[in-house]
Structure 1
Amino acid sequence: RPGESDGGANTSQLSVVSETEVLTSKGYPDGGGELIRLEDQNGVMTAVSIWSSSKVLKTKLTSPVILDGYAYSLSNGFMECARLADGEQMWKRRGRFGHGQLLLVGRLILLHSESGELYLLEATPDEYREFGALKTINGVCWNTLCLAGNKLLVRSEIEAACIEIPFADAPQL
């Protein structure tokens, strides 16, 4: 069944790929990604593995973001892109990201690192493209990001902040 594993840890939140496909991912060290298709087989809904890989999508505290047939994720602290059709890794970026959080906004990815740096990335399978970064808060930043209009809320176990992101078409709150 989707979401189960023998690795001693649960999957991150399932990512919906299409009406019939979901992506599971997990870390802790025996993790990886799996694309599952839900099929009706004689009136019984069945989960069929399209591909499974221990080499990509080793998420821990965040779920991948999906755009145009690609998954972008923090995989054991590295930022990576994997093609959903076959699970092939397109690129992997070493950095000091840790186990932070991702948020897809249009064709941009907001990456909030475990140590509180906010990175603005382009969601492209071609290569890792970073537009800039800034330090937001102190502490361990494992918490889910929240975007309301152009206001990004971030928090750790000791601090919180509201950051105005200058998106051209964001509604004003």
Structure 2
Amino acid sequence: MVPAPVKIIIAGGFGAGKTTMVGSVSEIPPLTTEELLTEASTDVDDLSGVERKSTTTVALDFGRITISTRHVLYLFGMPGQARFWFMWDDLARGAIGTIVLVDARRVEASFAAIDFFERRQIPFVVAVNCFDNAPRYDANEIREALAVPDRMPIVMCDARDRDSSKMALIRLVRHAMTVLPVPV
């Protein structure tokens, strides 16, 4: 029996930790399209709050998690910068849901991803990536800052930690199961 594929998107702003999250939970070495930031991107990519960042995703990240003999999760990390938004529709097609990863140092960088998934009615959860030395906010403060409804799950996570990332994925799958129509 070939396992049924389940597509999940990891989205968020530039530098939120999407590549890190895919890599922390993937059972295979993740496919990444990381490239060095160059001087050409200096006027394009806002490094405020992520000044030490030296690479960026230029297409997508890909990882896989076998859930059972019946299901396998395929994880797709989306590039966060506006210059790559033209790819988002294609990457999101067929996804059961999305983790919108939020960097508490740059909450506003996640607005575009939240708007994108809300408009397309693709289920998502907000996962606040708890970076070292980042401000700490509770779920209600994040909810208010992002203007997301009470029914929207908000979880705190560390994208570097496999178990933490796995818990965010579990929360997403549970949320998607409650809002997606049951196939007939």
Do the structures match in fold with TM over 0.5? no
TM-score by length of 1: 0.27
Task: Identify which of structures 1 and 2 has the higher relative contact order when contacts are C-alpha pairs closer than 8 Å and 6+ apart.
Answer: 2
Which of the pair has more CA radius of gyration?
A: 1
TM-score by length of 2: 0.26
Q: Which has the higher helix share?
A: 2
